[in-house]
Amino acid sequence: MRALVASKNRTIFRINTGATMGKLLRGANWFLEVRGKEHFPCHFHVIGPDFAAQIDVETLLPMVGAMPRAVETEVTAWAEKNRSAIVAEWNKNNPDRLYALKHQEKDDE
């Protein structure tokens, strides 16, 4: 199953690939995904052609790696509003490592 939603310069999408990986956001040349069989803390990956980072879902700070400032800005803005979707994907892909969100999402104003 694949659903696409276009928004400005990015595409938000979800690909159901079983319990291995969920891609949640795509930029011009990068994507954000939640993987299965992962370690705590709850995190997501941002991957581009010449960078990769693991981002903590609570702090939205890189745990490992780095990304260009423009990508970081876009990812952080999206993740602040979509933490619960990220955690839901984490829990789907990591059923033996369920996570409960501690941080509240920012509402659109």
Q: Are 32 and 24 in contact (CB under 8 A)?
A: yes
Provide the pLDDT for residue 106.
Answer: 63
Q: Which alpha helices (DSSP H) does 36-108 contain, by range?
A: 69-81, 83-93
Which DSSP letter does residue 105 get? P
Provide the pLDDT for residue 76.
Answer: 97
Burial environment of residue 4 by CB neighbours within 10 A (0 to 12, 13 to 18, 19 or more): exposed
Which residues, other chains included, contact 66 with Cβ-Cβ below 8 Å and sequence gap of 6+?
51, 53
Place of tokens 């595409």: 11
Provide the pLDDT for residue 15.
Answer: 39
Provide the pLDDT for residue 1.
Answer: 30
Provide the pLDDT for residue 3.
Answer: 36
Whole-angstrom Cα distance, residue 83 to residue 1?
A: 22
**Global confidence as pTM:** 0.76
The series of mean pLDDT values per 10 residues for the chain, 109 residues long, is: 40 42 88 94 96 96 97 96 94 94 64
Whether the CA torsion 35, 40, 80, 102 is positive or negative: it is positive
